[in-house]
Structure 1
């Protein structure tokens, strides 16, 4: 039998969005990520927020139709934070800038806050709830995840207050179990 294992990439390099509305998209993504514009003109923009030369690119493609529902395609892109405190600090700053989440959920393996950009593309910000991949995999192959692979909604105001009151971050990331749940809410 032939070897069918493809050499795995080291990381995800970047995401590119096509839009007829480049200015609001560039403004949103620059603000959302706290990014800097490496390059930008009326046709294309390259944004970076870490050591990579660009993580997000936005192309002005006139004639692009608005995102329709339901259509097949990318559901969302996700960005990780190293701590629950970091995730909530970013949420709080986005709130103060008028960027509101569409959904806040503890999936089990991650605690996640979702958003939409001006074109309706989904964005997830998340923190890993387990210290190792093995621990996350154990949860994902267990009874509770099989019963509810979606997760349990949470209020970020409440979570931030608990964190500010000194509650242990690791304990706060343990998902509250609510029983069976399937499907993602509309608009997420």
Structure 2
């Protein structure tokens, strides 16, 4: 056995969990949250009492738990939903398996009056960011490359010059997709900008709304 093989055999076993199971939030807006996740995820109530609600949208026992806190709390902490903009967890990212599924879901939610607060091509992903009634931000994304090429993208000059991305128009991107333009072409960061409109890139994409 070579030294390299011996070192490989002595590597520590993988210790990361196998799957992400659920997340839990404390909210004074349980009813609004249940309606929102019902619309966005097709979530159904698994169990509910005065103190907690469990929701799921797949074969997991529950994907989201909402712990009820007294409704007056929302008035005691009127800016609590903006804390994310300055500190703590920024967002949770969820992947769609194709650009078509991501954009068709965008259309479905738009019909329900639910719009992304930020639409951007980061380079590695095309991402639509939504916020639930409590301000928890969810990134719906599709990968532009496989894992190996995404890792390589981080070391390109393009990423060095613009690590944030380029804002996109989801409707324009979808119209191109429906006209037969393949994802391979649409993954270019400028592909989501309508002709005649300025390209909004890098730090210019950051506004009070998108932050």
Quickly name the TM-score band, shorter chain normalised.
Answer: 0.7 to 0.9
User: In the alignment, what sits opposite 1:173?
Assistant: 187
The Cα of 1:71 is off from its aligned counterpart by: 4.0
- TM (norm. structure 1) is 0.88
Map 1:67-82 onto structure 2 (within 5 A). Answer: 67-69=81-83, 70-82=85-97
The Cα of 1:5 is off from its aligned counterpart by: 8.5
- TM (norm. structure 2) is 0.79
- Does the alignment pair 1:12 with 2:27? no
Unaligned runs of 5+ in 1: none
Distance 1:184-1:13 versus aligned 2 partners, 3 A rule: farther
- Does the alignment pair 1:185 with 2:199? no
Unaligned runs of 5+ in 2: 1-10, 192-198
Q: Alignment length, in residue pairs?
A: 185
- Does the alignment pair 1:92 with 2:113? no
Misfit runs of 4+, over 6 Å:
3-6, 177-180
Higher helix share: 2
Secondary structure at the aligned position of 2:47 is classed as strand
The Cα of 1:141 is off from its aligned counterpart by: 1.8
Question: If you compute each CA radius of gyration, which structure gives the higher value, 1 or 2?
Answer: 2
Report the more deviating stretch, 60-69 or 27-36. 60-69
The Cα of 1:67 is off from its aligned counterpart by: 2.2
C-alpha RMSD of matched pairs (Å): 2.3
Distance 1:46-1:74 versus aligned 2 partners, 3 A rule: same
